[in-house]
Amino acid sequence: MSFVNKARQAYNKLFPAPVLTDFPAENLPWIDKKNPDIEGFVRQFPKATQLPYDLTEKLHFWKENGYVILEKVISDELIDAYLADVQELIDDHKKYDINIRIDRPEYSKHPVMKVRDVPREIIEGQYIKIMDFHNASVAGKKLMLHKAIVSFLEAIFNEKVVAMQSLTFLYGSQQETHQDFPYVVPQVPSHLAASWIALEDVKAGSGELHYFVGSHKIPKFDWGNGIFFTGESSKNPTDFGRYLSAKCEGFERKTLLLKKGDVLIWHAALAHGGEPILDDSLTRKSYVCHYSSAQGYFRHRHDLVNEPVRYNLNGADVFADPKLKEYENSFKRGESLNQ
C-alpha cells in the first residue's frame, strides 16, 4: 500500500468520514444542480464569445450526456513535441525515477514502478500508463492546460481550474468500465472532470475508449463504506464493474474514434472503459488528464500539508510534483510552442 493510502487509512480511523450515498449537494458544480440557468451563465461568462464552439450548446450537451467533444483544437506541433518527449523518456528510461503503472500479472504485487527499473520492451508494450509525465514535460503541461480545455472546464466549475494528474497511453488501456470519482478524489470530490487527448488518429480495433451516454446520472455505487474506494471498502473494482454494467443497460454505448488533436472531456461520473485490442499492431496514443477547481484541489496529493508550487497557463494551475522536483520541466521541447 502506498504511503498516501496508509496515511489516508490512519486519518480515516481517527476521524471516520460520514458514509456518503452521493456527492454533497452544497458544493456541487453549478451545472450539476437541478435546472441550471445555462443561458444566464453564458451571458456573463467572459470567455464565451472567444471560443471556437457554441458554449451554450456544449453546456446543454454536457448536462444531458456527461461529455463533450472538441474537434481539432490542439496543434500537431504541440502533440509531436510531447510524443518526442515521451520517446526520449523511453529511450533514456534508465536515467529516470518517473513512475509508470503496469497492469500485467507479473507486476501485480508492485504495479507502480520507476521507469528506470522496467525493461524497455515492457515500457513500450500494452498495459502501461506513464504517470504524471506533465511534471517533467513542458509540452505535457501545455497540452494539459490547453486553452480550449481550460475554458470549457472553467465554465463547468465556474472557477479557476487546477489540473491534478495525467496518464499517457501508447496502447488502448483495455480497462473495465468504471467511473473516475471513486478513485480520483480531490478535496471537493464532485469538482472533478477528465480530458482525453488524441495524440494520433484512433483506429478501429486499437482498444478504443467506450462510454455510456448519460451514465453520469445513475445512482452511485456503495462500496460498503460510501461512494469512494478506500482501504476499508468491502466491495472491489470487479463488483463496481458489474454494478455499472447492470445500471448502464439501456444507455447508448459509444466508442471513441477521435482524430489527432481532438479532445473528449468527460464528467467525474461518466461510465467508461477501454475496448479489447483486436489488432496488436495498432497503437492508440492518448493523454488523459484529471482536473478539479481551485476550491476542490488546493494541496498536491503527495503533500497534503504544504502550499504547492504552482505553474499557471491560460489562467489554470498545475502543481509541481513535490516528490520528483529534479525533473520538473526538464523536457523542454514545448517551450517555444504556442497553445
Which residues in this chain contact ligand AKG in the complex, by CB under 6 A? 167, 169, 172-173, 175, 180, 209, 272, 274, 286, 288
Q: What is the grid cell recorded at 243?
A: 454494478
Q: Which is nearer to ligand AKG, 55 or 271 (CB)?
A: 271
Distance of closest approach, residue 270 Cβ to ligand AKG, in angstroms: 10
CA pair distance 297, 225, nearest whole angstrom: 23
Distance of closest approach, residue 274 Cβ to ligand AKG, in angstroms: 3
Q: Which is nearer to ligand AKG, 220 or 333 (CB)?
A: 220
- Which residue's beta carbon is nearest to the bound ligand AKG? 274
Distance of closest approach, residue 252 Cβ to ligand AKG, in angstroms: 18
Q: Which is nearer to ligand AKG, 128 or 288 (CB)?
A: 288
Q: Which is nearer to ligand AKG, 263 or 288 (CB)?
A: 288
Distance of closest approach, residue 63 Cβ to ligand AKG, in angstroms: 21
Distance of closest approach, residue 114 Cβ to ligand AKG, in angstroms: 21
Q: Which is nearer to ligand AKG, 8 or 267 (CB)?
A: 267
CA proximity to 175, closest of 245, 247, 275, 249: 275
Q: Do 128 and 122 form a contact (C-beta atoms < 8 A)?
A: yes
User: DSSP 3-state assignment of 145?
Assistant: coil
Task: Find the helix or strand (DSSP H, E) in which 99 lies.
Answer: strand 99-102
CA proximity to 206, closest of 245, 256, 253, 254: 256
Cα–Cα distances (Å) from 316 to 159, 181, 272, in that order, read 10, 21, 26
Q: What is the grid cell recorded at 276?
A: 479489447
